[in-house]
């Protein structure tokens, strides 16, 4: 699949003064081979490829523009190496694509809080191709200002082609951007339905601003019941018919906030009702939109949780207050 989809890109990269350097760290031979084949077909220059042990040897070697890491079952040493790699990548502007398993997701997620990596969970080859396409498009956008007009056009066409391929594959699962929406613009439009401050008249007759009161969060038992009702549909119909991972995650986090409990990234992926890699893309978009935030564990720096921002909590509280008694009948 990778060679067929990206055969055009090698010539385009060469014409634009590329290829980009790429390092691959994977212990599973078949994954290492697939990553190498797809990366070469995409026009990347393989700077290094080998097992996770290479990643643990130190920081002497350069990273290149992109690093691929496959760690489905990392041990303590591998997790420590991921922390160092995350810091180095953030400092160098290197893009990371890290694939792992559901069992190791929380540990790996906790290690990667600086570089904004693409996280894949038990990915298919199509998932990896999509991730490579996004990395290639991102690298092209970073370099476009340094190129001649002719090379700029080549890269713009390349970016458009890679985006079209990723969209075709991504339609199989995951959020789809509105074709009329500009690149880089969030798919979410989130604003509180009421102003944060309201005007009030003081005793002396002068106007002043006071913070508007926010309704209390809904009863978490009600929110959990709504979630169970939504999930029940999957027993009788194809779950894709009702897929709404963003809303399911907002409901789960609303209940958790009212219960004063913390939600791990794995738990939130399960609540979303979609595959973990798809859920992680939604979490990334919702974080960028200001709905979700990453919360570090004060007692264990290797762990992190996901929570509603105050802005999102305010919106959910006002939403349920507006529904009133009708909320109990939501499905």
**For the chain, domain boundaries:** 2-170, 220-329
| Six-digit token string for 126 | 């199509």
Q: Encode pLDDT of 102-113 as tens digits.
A: 999 999 999 998
Residues forming beta bridges with residue 49, ordered by sequence position: 24
Q: Encode pLDDT of 264-286 as tens digits.
A: 999 999 999 889 998 999 999 89
pLDDT at position 206 is: 54
Architecture (CATH level 2) of domain 2-170: 3-Layer(aba) Sandwich (3.40)
Least confident range of 50-59, 214-223, 274-283 = 50-59
How crowded is residue 260: how many other Cβ atoms within 10 Å of its Cβ? Answer: 7
* Closest among 288, 268, 263 to 278, alpha carbons compared: 268
Q: How far apart are CA 57 and CA 144, in angstroms?
A: 34
Q: How far apart are CA 32 and CA 26, in angstroms?
A: 6
Average pLDDT over residues 234-259: 87
Say if CB 25 and CB 69 are below 8 A apart. yes
Same CATH topology for 2-170 and 220-329: the answer is no
How crowded is residue 143: how many other Cβ atoms within 10 Å of its Cβ? Answer: 17
CB contact burial 145-178 (16+ within 10 A = b; e otherwise): eebeeebbebbeebbebbbebbeebbeebbbeee
pLDDT at position 160 is: 54
Q: Encode pLDDT of 66-124 as tens digits.
A: 999 999 999 998 998 899 899 989 988 889 999 999 999 999 999 998 998 999 999 98
Q: 76 versus 209: which is more confidently predicted? A: 76
Q: 55 versus 271: which is more confidently predicted? A: 271
Find tokens 């075709």 and name the residue: 168
At residue 16 the predicted structure's pLDDT band, cuts being 50, 70 and 90, is very low
Is 56 strand, coil or helix? helix
Is 23 strand, coil or helix? strand
Overall pTM surpassing 0.85 (yes/no): no
Q: How far apart are CA 291 and CA 129, in angstroms?
A: 28
Find tokens 């894709």 and name the residue: 240
At residue 236 the predicted structure's pLDDT band, cuts being 50, 70 and 90, is confident
Question: Does domain 220-329 correspond to CATH entry 1.10.230.10?
Answer: no
| Six-digit token string for 331 | 């499905």
- Side-chain-side CA neighbours of 56 within 13 Å: the count stands at 13
Query: By percentage, how much of the chain surpasses pLDDT 70?
Result: 67
């Amino acid at each position: 699949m990778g060679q067929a989809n990206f055969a055009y890109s090698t010539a385009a990269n060469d014409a634009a003064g590329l290829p980009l350097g790429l390092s691959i760290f994977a212990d599973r031979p078949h994954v290492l081979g697939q990553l190498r084949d797809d990366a070469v077909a995409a026009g990347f220059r393989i700077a290094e490829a080998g097992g996770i042990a290479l990643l643990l040897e130190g920081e002497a070697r350069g990273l290149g523009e992109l690093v691929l890491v496959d760690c489905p079952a990392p041990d303590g040493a591998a997790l420590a190496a991921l922390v160092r790699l995350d810091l180095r990548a953030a400092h160098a502007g290197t893009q990371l694509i890290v694939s792992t398993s559901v069992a190791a997701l929380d540990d790996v997620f906790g290690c990667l809080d600086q570089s904004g990596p693409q996280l894949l969970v038990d990915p298919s080859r199509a998932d990896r191709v999509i991730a490579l396409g996004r990395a290639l498009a991102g690298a092209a956008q970073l370099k476009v200002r340094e190129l001649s007009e002719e090379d700029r056009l080549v890269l713009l066409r390349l970016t458009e082609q890679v985006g079209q391929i990723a969209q075709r594959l991504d339609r199989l699962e995951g959020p789809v951007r509105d074709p009329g929406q500009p690149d880089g613009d969030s798919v979410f439009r989130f604003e509180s339905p009421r102003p944060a401050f309201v005007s009030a008249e003081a005793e002396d007759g002068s106007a002043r601003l006071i913070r508007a009161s926010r309704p209390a969060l809904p009863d978490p038992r009600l929110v959990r019941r709504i979630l169970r009702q939504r999930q029940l549909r999957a027993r009788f119909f194809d779950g894709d018919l009702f897929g709404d991972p963003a809303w399911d995650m907002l409901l789960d986090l609303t209940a958790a906030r009212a219960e004063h409990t913390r939600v791990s990234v794995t738990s939130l992926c399960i609540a979303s009702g979609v595959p973990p890699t798809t859920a992680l893309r939604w979490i990334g978009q919702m974080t960028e939109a200001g709905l979700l935030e990453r919360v570090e564990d004060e007692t264990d720096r290797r762990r992190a949780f996901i929570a509603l921002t105050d802005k999102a909590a305010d919106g959910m509280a006002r939403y349920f207050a507006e529904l009133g008694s009708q909320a109990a009948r939501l499905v």
